[in-house]
Structure formats: structure tokens, C-alpha cells
Structure 1
Amino acid sequence: MLETVLPLILFALVSTSTPGIATTLSTASGAQFGFRRSVPLMAGSAAGLASVAAAGAAGLAGLLAAVPSLQLAMKVAGSAYLVWLAFKIGRSGPPNLDVSMAKPNSFFGGASVQWMNPKGWAMGLGAAASFAALADGPLQLALLLGAVFGLAAALSLSLWCVAGTLLARLLKTERQWRALNVVLGLVLAASIVPMWRPA
């Protein structure tokens, strides 16, 4: 069984580890709040990606293709939310001086980012098309993709969060913190651009 699922596991690990919206948020949260306080964000993001992959396998992709206005509404809402998050991250200072980003993002915030994340949908839909032969039907494929992508995202986001906490130990001055937060905010804002590219 492992030999047949191994390509899917590798695909999920590689695709969830590449830089994007969720990894940037996990890194910023780790730097700002530490690993433990970032767990709800990472758990929500992993659960969100699992549900996106499962929904893609179960056929939600067909609904989005049939109702372009729903897809546009998701893009607009997702972009607005991510711009707001990028602004909050970019304006924050060192953890002990920060008032604008006083608490880490929530489980729901992490999950909703994935539902509006084109990279997450591309991963889920690509996996559903590429690995459909591993399951006997849409429901089994949805369960398989949801489990694999959820676990892969939990692992990769944890690693990005740890990188953020290690980076935080290197930052000694308020100026260094502000520079890091501006960079992370700009990276997050730039990650919105692919959402608006024509397919």
C-alpha cells in the first residue's frame, strides 16, 4: 500500500513546503508569537488544505467552473483578507512592543486562508486528477487526499514556523523586527498576484 501512495505523499510534501501564503503566515507567526501560540493558525491551515483537497476530489471543482461568479467572489474576498493580513504583519514591530498584531491568527483564520488560496486549490485539483486511480471512487479519493494533504501541510507549516522562531532569535533591535515584518508583509501581498493571473 505504501508504494502506491508514496508518490502522492511526496507530491503533497513538496507542494506544501514551497513558499506561499500559508508558509509566509506560519513564518511570520512563529517569529512574532513563537511556535506554541502559532499552533491554532497552523492547525487551521492544515485542516483548510485538507478540506480543499477533499472538496476538489469530491467534485467542487465542477461547481466553481460552472459558476464563475462564485470563483470571482472567492478571489475578491481572499485578496481583501490577505491584503489586510499583509498590512497587519508589515506594521508590526517586535513582539513586546507590538500593539497592531497583538495576538496570533486563529484556527478559522488559517482555514479560511486555504479556502481562498489558489495554490491550495491547484494542489488539490492536480492531485485529484493525477492520483484518482488510487481510490475506488470520489469519496474514498476525498478521504485519501484530505488525510495526506492535511498531514503534509501540518509538517511543512511547522517547519516554516520553527524557521520563524529561529529567525526571531537573531533579531535584536526594533529596526530589524520592523524590516522583517515589512518583508513578510510584502511577500504575503505579492503571493496574491498569481490568484489574478488568467488560467
Structure 2
Amino acid sequence: MFEAIFPLFLFALVSTSTPGMATTLSTASGAQFGFRRSVPLMAGSAAGLATVAAAGAAGLAGLLAAAPSLQLAMKVAGSLYLIWLAWKIGRSGPPNLDVAMSKPNSFFGGVGLQWMNPKGWAMGLGAAASFAALANGPLQLAFLLGTVFGLAAALSLSAWCVAGTLLARLLRTERQWRVLNAVLGLLLAASIIPMWQPA
């Protein structure tokens, strides 16, 4: 059984490790607040991706494809939320001097991020199409994809968060912090661009 699931896990791990909205936010949160205080964000993001993958496998993605207005509303809401987060991150300073980013993003913020993330839906749909033979029906496939993508996201986001905490140890001045946060804010804002490109 492990031999059959391993390619799916590898696909999920590689997909969730590539730079994007959630990875950039996890890195910024790790740098700003440390690993422990970033756990709710990462747990929410992993849970959000798990539910997106499961919903995609169960057929919700077909509804989104059939309702372009709902898809557009999700894109607009997701873009506005990410621009707001990018602004907060980009304008923040060192952790002890920061006012704009006074607390890390929440569990539900992480979940919402994934539900508005076209990359997450694309990963779930791609996995559902590629690995449907591993399950006996849509519900079993939804459970399998939700579990695998949730675990893979937890691992990859933890790695990005640790990278952020390690990076924070190298920063000594307020100017260095401001440059790092500006770069992370710009990267988060840039991660919105693929959301609006035609598939």
C-alpha cells in the first residue's frame, strides 16, 4: 500500500513546498513571531489545504468550474486579503518594535487563505485526476487526498517557518528587518499574479 501512496505523497510534498502564498506567509510569520507562535497559522493552512483537496476530490471543484461568478468572487476576496497581509508584513519592523503585525495570523486565517488559493484547488484537482485509481470512489479519494495534502502541507510550511526563524537570527538592525519584511511583503503580493492568469 505504501508503494502505491508514495508517489501521491511525493507529489503533495513537492507541490506544497514550492513558493507561494502560504509558504511566504509562513516564512514571514516565523521570522516575525518564531515557530511556536506561528503554529496556528500553519495548522490552519494545512487543514485548509486538506479540506480543499478533499472537496476537490469529492466534486466541489466541478461546481466552481460551472459557476464563474463564484470563482471570480473567491479570486477578488483572496486577492484583497493577500494585499492587506502583504501591506502589513511589508510595513512591519523588528518584532519588538512592530505595531502593524502585533500578533501572528490565526488558524482560521490560514484556512481561509487556502480556500481562496487557486494553487490549492489546482493541486487538489491534479491529484484527484492523477491518483483516482488509489481509491474506491470519491469519498475514499477525498479522505486520502485530504490526509496526504494536510500532512505534506504541515511538513513543508514548518520547513518554511523554520527558515524564517533562522533568517531572523541573522538580522541585527532595524533596517535589515525592514528590508526583509518589505521583500516578503512584495513576494506575497506577487503570489497573487498567477491567480489572475488564464489556466
TM-score band by shorter chain is over 0.9
Q: RMSD between aligned alpha carbons? A: 0.4
Give the share of equivalent positions with the same residue, in percent. 87
Structure 1 outlier segments of 4+, above 4 Å: none
Show the 5 A alignment for 1:25-44.
25-44=25-44
Determine the structure 1 residue equivalent to 2:149.
149
Aligned residue type for 1:102: S
Alpha-carbon distance in 2 for matches of 1:84, 1:58: 32
Shift, 1:65, TM fit: 1.0
Determine the structure 2 residue equivalent to 1:176.
176
**TM-score, scaled to structure 2:** 0.99
Q: Helix, strand or coil for the counterpart of 1:146?
A: helix
Determine the structure 2 residue equivalent to 1:109.
109
**TM-score, scaled to structure 1:** 0.99
Alpha-carbon distance in 2 for matches of 1:194, 1:9: 24
Show the 5 A alignment for 1:132-147.
132-147=132-147
Q: Helix, strand or coil for the counterpart of 1:56?
A: helix
Aligned residue type for 1:141: L
Deviation readout 1:73-96 (Å, 9 max, x if unpaired)? 000000000000000000000000
Alpha-carbon distance in 2 for matches of 1:185, 1:134: 39
Q: Helix, strand or coil for the counterpart of 2:57?
A: helix
Q: Helix, strand or coil for the counterpart of 1:131?
A: helix
Determine the structure 2 residue equivalent to 1:62.
62
Alpha-carbon distance in 1 for matches of 2:37, 2:6: 32
Determine the structure 2 residue equivalent to 1:186.
186
Determine the structure 2 residue equivalent to 1:158.
158
Shift, 1:160, TM fit: 0.3
Determine the structure 2 residue equivalent to 1:124.
124
Shift, 1:198, TM fit: 1.2
Alpha-carbon distance in 2 for matches of 1:122, 1:147: 17
Shift, 1:61, TM fit: 1.0
Deviation readout 1:34-76 (Å, 9 max, x if unpaired)? 0000000000000000000000000011100111000000000
Aligned residue type for 1:148: V
Alpha-carbon distance in 2 for matches of 1:39, 1:158: 8
Q: Which runs of 5+ in 1 are unaligned?
A: none
Determine the structure 2 residue equivalent to 1:197.
197
Equivalent pairs counted in the alignment come to 199
Alpha-carbon distance in 2 for matches of 1:26, 1:59: 29
Shift, 1:139, TM fit: 0.2
Shift, 1:185, TM fit: 0.2
Aligned residue type for 2:107: F
Alpha-carbon distance in 2 for matches of 1:76, 1:111: 17
